[in-house]
């Protein structure tokens, strides 16, 4: 029942990747990749950072909104200037001064500064999104590598189990021969040593497999052991021999391009940050101190338009622009270096793939020859023409030939996967 539920979960996840040009054909692996992309905590953490840009956008847009401030003041002053006027005195200001009101300040025009800030924030958000996407793809490749490691290790365990089974069968035969006087105890002890070594190797492979399962569950949140049912090491993945449009797919290239866009906007901001600002403000409230009755509190207010013009700027726009130009040139050289590394890495992977292809052909020939030699050795052993030690040595050669062939097939798959990772092929 548990396996059915997990299979349904994988099937639902696969729906999200159908229709994409994905080199992965194994539907179980596709589902595991999608599960990791949707559930891995690090990805959720990065996605949360996108909210920072949303808040920053609202903060920048607030420049267009009016600023409203309220104030109230009281001041006692003595003595106050006054002059006699008939039987009374005429005061120029009150003993008790009170003022209060509301002031509204509204930006009218800032010559493109706020607009440029919004464009930069939008590009910064795209940079963060690229980081999220790159992390998702990196996790996808980790899942694929662990998945194929699980497949390879499972097949290696099967080979090792067959080896242990054969050695134990040899022990049984030798024990029977000892009873009949056709073998000596040395043969039995030698076989038991071989069996113990093979069993230790089997336990080592099983431990590696458990580690693979732990890593896969950490990435996907799914216990994959019931789902992986002896899949093939040949998933139909093609080898990438040409980098193609790597600038639009490679993770580092996308970040460098986005960084250059941010630098271009920084240069633009450096040129317009010292532009003037036109603003309007208005105030309404109350105060006293008006002649001829300075103690009377009256309504008061004003409205006007002003302009703020920077005269001396500590930011030194020309130096900022020069600094941006240096950073831009550095980014261009980084892109050139990246292109060189991609071409080099892709060439190395393709050369390894060709080498492993030739090794696979030789390995298959070796496996056939080793199996045939073992069949003949078994017959000769039963007839007493060779010793048990010779039979075990031939049996070990069969095991090594099978494991080598399996290793080469696994390495071919890794080569193909690496070629896609170099150019940045999307797996999710």
Predicted confidence at residue 384, as pLDDT, reads 77
Query: Six-digit token pair at 161?
Result: 């189990």
2-50: per-residue pLDDT in tens? 444 444 444 444 444 444 578 998 999 999 999 999 988 889 888 888 8
* 260, part of any domain: yes
What's the pLDDT band for 182 if we cut at 50, 70, 90? low
Long-range contacts of range 222-225, CB-CB < 8 Å, 24 or more positions apart?
222/6, 222/9, 222/10, 222/32, 222/35, 223/6, 224/32, 224/147, 224/150
* 22, part of any domain: yes
* 102, part of any domain: no
* 404, part of any domain: no
Predicted confidence at residue 301, as pLDDT, reads 87
Q: What percent of the chain has pLDDT over 90?
A: 46
Beta bridge partners of 289: none
Predicted confidence at residue 314, as pLDDT, reads 58
Query: Six-digit token pair at 292?
Result: 């001829």
190-221: per-residue pLDDT in tens? 788 888 988 999 999 999 999 999 999 999 99
* 86, part of any domain: no
- How far the first Cα of the chain sits from its last, in Å, is 28
Q: What is the pTM of this model?
A: 0.80
* 11, part of any domain: yes
* 58, part of any domain: no
* 64, part of any domain: no
Residue 242: CATH number of its domain: 1.20.1600.10
What's the pLDDT band for 166 if we cut at 50, 70, 90? confident
Report the run of H or E that residue 299 belongs to, with start and end.
Answer: strand 298-308
60-82: per-residue pLDDT in tens? 888 888 889 999 998 988 888 87
Estimate to the nearest angstrom the gap between the alpha carbon of 20 and the chain centroid: 19
275-297: per-residue pLDDT in tens? 888 989 999 888 988 877 888 88
Domain count, the chain: 1
Sort residue 181 into left (φ over 0), alpha (ψ -120 to 50) or beta: left
Q: Could you list the residue range(s) of the whole structural domain that residue 119 is in?
A: 2-39+110-275+310-337
- As a whole number of angstroms, the distance between CA 216 and CA 223 comes to 8
- Picking from 77, 70, 78, 71, the residue whose alpha carbon sits closest to that of residue 97 is 77
């Amino acid at each position: 029942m548990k396996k059915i539920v997990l299979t349904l979960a994988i099937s639902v996840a696969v729906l999200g990747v159908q229709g994409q040009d994905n080199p992965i054909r194994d539907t179980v692996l596709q589902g595991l990749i999608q599960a990791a992309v949707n559930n891995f905590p690090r990805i959720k953490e990065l996605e949360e950072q996108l909210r920072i840009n949303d808040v920053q956008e609202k903060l920048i847009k607030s420049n267009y909104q009016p600023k409203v401030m309220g104030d109230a003041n009281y001041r006692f002053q003595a003595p106050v200037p006054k002059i006699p006027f008939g039987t009374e005195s005429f005061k120029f200001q009150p003993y008790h001064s009170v003022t209060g009101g509301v002031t509204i300040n509204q930006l009218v025009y800032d010559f493109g500064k706020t607009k440029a800030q919004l464009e930069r924030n939008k590009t910064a958000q795209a940079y963060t999104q690229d980081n999220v996407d790159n992390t998702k793809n990196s996790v996808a490749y980790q899942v694929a590598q662990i998945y194929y490691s699980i497949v390879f290790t499972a097949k290696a365990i099967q080979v090792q189990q067959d080896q242990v089974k054969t050695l134990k069968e040899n022990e049984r035969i030798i024990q029977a021969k000892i009873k009949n006087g056709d073998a000596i105890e040395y043969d039995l002890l030698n076989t038991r040593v071989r069996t113990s070594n093979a069993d230790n190797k089997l336990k080592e492979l099983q431990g590696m497999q458990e580690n693979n399962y732990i890593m896969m569950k950490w990435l996907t949140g799914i216990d994959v052991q019931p789902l992986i049912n002896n899949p093939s090491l040949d998933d139909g993945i093609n080898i990438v021999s040409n980098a193609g449009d790597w600038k639009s797919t490679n993770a580092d290239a996308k970040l460098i391009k986005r960084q250059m866009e941010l630098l271009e906007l920084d240069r633009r901001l450096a040129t317009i940050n010292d532009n003037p600002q036109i603003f309007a403000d208005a105030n309404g409230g109350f105060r006293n101190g008006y002649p001829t009755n300075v103690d009377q509190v009256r309504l008061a207010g004003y409205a006007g338009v002003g302009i703020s013009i920077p005269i001396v700027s500590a930011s030194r726009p020309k130096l900022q622009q020069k600094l941006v130009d240096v950073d831009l040139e550095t980014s261009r050289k980084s892109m050139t270096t990246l292109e060189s590394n991609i071409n080099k890495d892709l060439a190395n992977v393709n050369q390894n793939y060709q080498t492993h292809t030739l090794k696979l052909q030789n390995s298959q020939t070796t496996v056939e020859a080793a199996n045939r030699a073992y069949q003949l050795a078994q017959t000769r052993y039963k007839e007493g023409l060779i010793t048990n030690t010779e039979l075990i040595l031939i049996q070990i050669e069969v095991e090594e030939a099978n494991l080598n062939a399996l290793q080469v097939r696994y390495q071919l798959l890794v080569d193909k996967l690496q070629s896609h990772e170099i150019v940045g092929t999307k797996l999710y």
